Structure 1
């Protein structure tokens, strides 16, 4: 048994992990997927990491300290804005593996709020929109932008019940690590994402992590639309396949 630690993105909660959680637990693994304090203006990235680490500790205590075949070293999966928190958690938990899923890749000392300009996101997104026939300056609705490849019942649930205010507090402070943590890292890119266009994300990952990402189908939330394939990908990473 392995413990998977799932870190959600901005302005939402951990509900988005439920289909993947069911898949992983069905394979005999433990899952920890806490709600981050994204609407708390007193909470920055340190508090986000505290929330995850405390949840892992509580889960281990509740299980009687059983660590499974990895002796308590989890697999951390970080989605979207969770990419700023995932490496901090890995540093503290001595994780076995970090999987970045459609995630923002931080740079040492870079405030998350500056990531957008530093990576050239704006021009890349405008070019992607233009190729899709979206007029410059047009506002796409959230369903079309984020969850167009998600089953309707799950997209409805996410948009109606699981959106939260995102505090700006984590955006202003420099990302605290001086270097990427010493943990094996994989990046999994969803090829249908309109919010983080694939071409932009491929370049971003190569520039900041030095390797090409792996790819799978899906929109910005592939854990909702493709949980079985995502679970299979994570299991392959975990077992070194």
Structure 2
């Protein structure tokens, strides 16, 4: 079976994956949701990489899964783990040496001027799940936005880019363009919004490990 190493986006809360982990483990896989110190003003991408490497120590047959800004951490560790597959979910697909702060201008995507947490991120998340997540929310400190992604070329690892059709933060067509321009890949459409692992956990697990969902029914 596969070890899924699950990297969250900005803020770094492992809780983001809490609806995905039990579905993977029930199907016999190992699922490691990594918690990152996103709010720590002295931690950044290099510290995130160390934490992911420590969490995955000893694992083999790794599928590395990164949500949103988590892609910048994933690409920094991909060559240092036995990664069989890299999966990016509604991700900031990085270029070599790019910082998360540069990514916005480089991809031509602007942070929504009218940003509203519910409208852009939580619109399709069940209310009870969103309420439970309030205590897990934390900001992303500035330090990580100024640090370059630690890879020189895209790793020689099969890569899948999952893009949610109802994502209001990184719209589907935008994600498709970036994946094509930067990786030459077509995105794999999934239901849900930006936080699809919270709103559509079975669909995300089906995309990660199709047999896992079949085995649960």
Normalising by the smaller structure, the TM-score range is over 0.9
Displacement of 1:199 in angstroms is: 1.2
The match for 1:129 is none
Aligned to 1:75: 63
Residue of structure 1 aligned with 2:159, choices 185, 188, 202? 185
Structure 2 residue aligned with 1:108: 96
Q: CA deviation at 1:180?
A: 0.8
Quote how far apart the aligned CAs of 1:187 are.
Answer: 0.4
**Secondary structure in 2 aligned to 1:114?**
helix
Aligned to 1:151: 126
Q: Secondary structure at the match of 1:194?
A: coil
* Counterparts in 2 of 1:166 and 1:203: CA distance versus 1, 3 Å: same
Q: Is the 8 A contact 1:76 1:86 kept in 2?
A: yes
Paired residue secondary structure (1:98): strand
Matched residue, 1:209: 183
Q: How far, CA to CA, are the matches of 1:48 and 1:79 in structure 2?
A: 14
SS in 2 for 1:231: helix
Quote the offset at 1:141 in angstroms: 2.6
1:229 alignment partner in structure 2: 203
Alpha-carbon distance in structure 2 between the residues aligned to 1:27 and 1:236: 10
Partner of 2:19: 19
* Structure-1 residue corresponding to 2:33: 33
Aligned residues: 212
Cα separation, 1, equivalents of 2:4 and 2:50? 17
CA RMSD of aligned residues (A): 1.7
Residues 1:146 and 1:14: Cα distance change in structure 2 (over 3 Å): same
Aligned-partner Cα distance in 2 for 1:77–1:173: 21
Counterpart residue number, 2:109: 121
Against the structure 1 CA distance between its residues 184 and 156, is the aligned structure 2 distance closer, same or farther, given a 3 Å change threshold?
A: same
C-alpha contact (below 8 Å) 1:7/1:14 kept by paired residues: yes
Say whether the 8 Å CA contact 2:176–2:187 is kept in structure 1.
Answer: yes
For normalisation by structure 2, the TM-score amounts to 0.92
Is contact 1:12–1:162 with CA below 8 Å preserved after alignment?
no
CA–CA distance in structure 2, aligned partners of residues 113 and 231 of structure 1? 30
Alignment correspondent of 1:134? none
TM-score (norm 1): 0.83
> Matched residue of 1:100: which SS?
strand
For 2:208 and 2:73, locate their aligned partners in 1 and report how far apart those are by CA, in whole Å.
19
Unmatched segments (≥5 aa) in structure 2: 213-217
Alignment of 1:159-170 (within 5 A): 160-170=134-144
SS of residue matched to 1:77: strand
Measure, in 1, the Cα distance between the counterparts of 2:16 and 2:147.
27
Contact 1:143 1:155 in 2 (8 A): no
The structure with the larger Rg is: 1
